[in-house]
């Protein structure tokens, strides 16, 4: 099974670049609790695809890769994490073959559909596995 790669951008109104970096590093530390294939900060000045170059000064970006089975719990965690501050937002961007899904947290009524699309995409990945691999994946995640 191939992991799903996406970017995550954290924004905190009024935060300095140093504060944003500290927020990003704290989030990365908490993400270690998940079975992620990759979780690393994007290099300073590196702008995630879809972001404007001026946003590089006001956001903290992370590159992630996760197996589809991890996505629902990861998104649930991020939904709770973003609510720790009233001025914090997170944007997730996932591009795969012919579609791009962008999700902003905390979720508005419009982005709830995007959340469903993201989770549906994860489900699509799981159902494309050969039956024996899907059964093995289910047993692995229950441990």
Query: Please, which pLDDT band fits residue 57 given cuts at 50, 70 and 90?
Result: very low
DSSP-derived secondary structure letter, 3: P
Please name every residue paired with 64 in a beta bridge, in sequence order, or none if there are none: 6, 39
Whether the Cβ atoms of residue 61 and residue 48 lie closer than 8 Å to each other:
yes
Q: Is the pLDDT of residue 107 over 90?
A: no
d(CA 33, CA 54): 32
Q: Is the pLDDT of residue 88 over 70?
A: yes
Query: Please, which pLDDT band fits residue 2 given cuts at 50, 70 and 90?
Result: confident
Q: State the pLDDT at residue 121.
A: 65
Q: Is the pLDDT of residue 54 over 60?
A: no
Report which secondary-structure segment, H or E, holds 14.
none
Q: What is the CA radius of gyration of the chain?
A: 16
62 or 134: which carries more pLDDT confidence?
Answer: 62
- Domains in the chain with CATH codes: 4-142 (3.30.70)
d(CA 7, CA 63): 5
Whether the Cβ atoms of residue 122 and residue 71 lie closer than 8 Å to each other:
yes
d(CA 63, CA 38): 7
Q: State the pLDDT at residue 59.
A: 66
Whether the Cβ atoms of residue 106 and residue 89 lie closer than 8 Å to each other:
yes
């Amino acid at each position: 099974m191939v992991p799903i790669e996406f970017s995550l951008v954290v924004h905190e109104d009024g935060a300095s670049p140093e504060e944003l970096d500290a927020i990003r590093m704290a989030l990365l530390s908490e993400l270690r609790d998940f079975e992620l294939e990759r979780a690393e900060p994007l290099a300073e000045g590196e702008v995630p695809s879809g972001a404007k170059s001026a946003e590089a000064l006001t956001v903290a970006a992370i590159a992630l890769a996760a197996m589809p089975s991890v996505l629902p719990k990861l998104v649930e965690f991020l939904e709770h994490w973003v609510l720790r501050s009233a001025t914090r937002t997170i944007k997730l961007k996932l591009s795969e073959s012919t579609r791009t899904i962008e999700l902003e947290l905390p979720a508005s009524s419009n982005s709830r559909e995007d959340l469903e699309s993201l989770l549906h995409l994860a489900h699509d990945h799981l159902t494309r596995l050969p039956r024996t691999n899907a059964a093995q994946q289910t047993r692995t995640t229950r441990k």
